[in-house]
Amino acid sequence: MKHIFGPVPSRRLGRSLGIDVIPYKTCSFDCVYCECGATTTKTCEREEFFPLSELLGELDKRLSEIPSKPDVVTLSGAGEPTLYSRMGELITEARRISGLPVAVITNSSLLGRPEVEEELLEADIILPSLDTADGETFQRINRPHPMCSLDSIIDGLERFLKRFEGTVLFEILLLDGMNTDDANLEKLENALSRFRTDRIQINTAVRPGTVPGIAPVTMEKLTRIASRFGPGAEIIAGTRVEAAGREDRAIEDKILSLLKRRPCTANDLSDSLGIPMPETAKVIGRLIESGLIREDLHGQGRFYTSVERE
């Protein structure tokens, strides 16, 4: 399947069946910590990247194959899912087909737009993020599209979360020396005081990002910072550390083995190896960062090649 992955275990959501709703690395941000690699199409223009009927057809087929139902259907991907222009319809129909709650993971960049706000009100669970409330730090960490304004994002979050009746799992990703100083944290506390949240989840980068020198925050420091956000805050970074272990290395070995034989697109790798696209994208990013593979453009395709083949 091109767009459906899982069910996969999620500490935040239980057993999650994912729908990848946008092309690989199409995003409104180009975050320095992104495990999926650098953004290749930075945009704020919403599109129906894939036919709605195609996404729903794959969802229906996958649900018919699963022995036991997952806990949730999650709209996500290796980029920003709210760029999908039929998000509202997709949420409604995914819930109808599956009989499950629908979650949306978002970087919050488009919540200042009334149409996006209205569509996301249809979701059962929202997982928005905000890494900083300081404009200079926002530009340095998230590297947004010029149309993405931090003030608009914060105002949009406040307006949306006042109306949203579902569960709000709010994520903050911290990078040592970039958004962990007192001035940054105080601004973030002030912004969060304007939002309704059910849980504030503190994370840090444990894998290479898109630029060198990204430093994770120690567990001791994360614990101190989490205490600033009150009893509803929790640290979720430990699950990422665990996920970066032996299973990740096994996936890397499989992808390298295939790329030593022939160049492949991300979809080729996902389909051939049966690995969900978001996980495939993350591993591709790490392998590029480590210099083991390279990316080439051929026509409309983006192909990956093992450096050892040269």
If asked whether residues 151 and 230 sit together in one domain, one would say: yes
Q: Which of 244, 275, 292 is the last residue of a domain?
A: 244
If asked whether residues 211 and 293 sit together in one domain, one would say: no
pLDDT value, residue 294: 87
- 3-state helix/strand/coil string of the chain: CCCEEEEEEECCCEEEEEEECCCCCEECCCCCCCCCCCCCEECCCCECCCCHHHHHHHHHHHHHHCCCCCCEEEEECCCCHHHECCHHHHHHHHHHHHCCCEEEEECCCCCCCHHHHHHHCCCCEEEEECCCCCHHHHHHHHCCCCCCCHHHHHHHHHHHHHHCCCEEEEEEEECCCCCCCHHHHHHHHHHHCCCCCCEEEEEECCCCCCCCCCCCCCHHHHHHHHHHCCCCEEECHHHHHHHCCHHHHHHHHHHHHHHHHCCECHHHHHHHHCCCHHHHHHHHHHHHHCCCEEEEEECCEEEEEEHHHC
> What average pLDDT is seen over the chain?
88
If asked whether residues 21 and 131 sit together in one domain, one would say: yes
Q: Which of 209, 244, 279 is the last residue of a domain?
A: 244
Report which of residues 293 and 84 the model is more confident about: 84
Report which of residues 154 and 24 the model is more confident about: 154
If asked whether residues 11 and 55 sit together in one domain, one would say: yes
Q: Tell me how many domains the chain contains.
A: 2
CATH code of 305's domain: 1.10.10.10
pLDDT band at 285 (very low <50, low <70, confident <90, very high): confident
Q: Which of 214, 244, 274 is the last residue of a domain?
A: 244
If asked whether residues 85 and 229 sit together in one domain, one would say: yes
Tens of pLDDT, residues 135-189: 999 999 999 999 999 999 999 999 999 999 999 999 999 999 999 999 999 999 9
If asked whether residues 256 and 227 sit together in one domain, one would say: no
If asked whether residues 111 and 237 sit together in one domain, one would say: yes
pLDDT value, residue 251: 83
If asked whether residues 79 and 223 sit together in one domain, one would say: yes
If asked whether residues 185 and 251 sit together in one domain, one would say: no
- What is the value of pTM for the model shown? 0.79
Domain range for 284 is: 245-310
pLDDT at residue 37 above 80? no
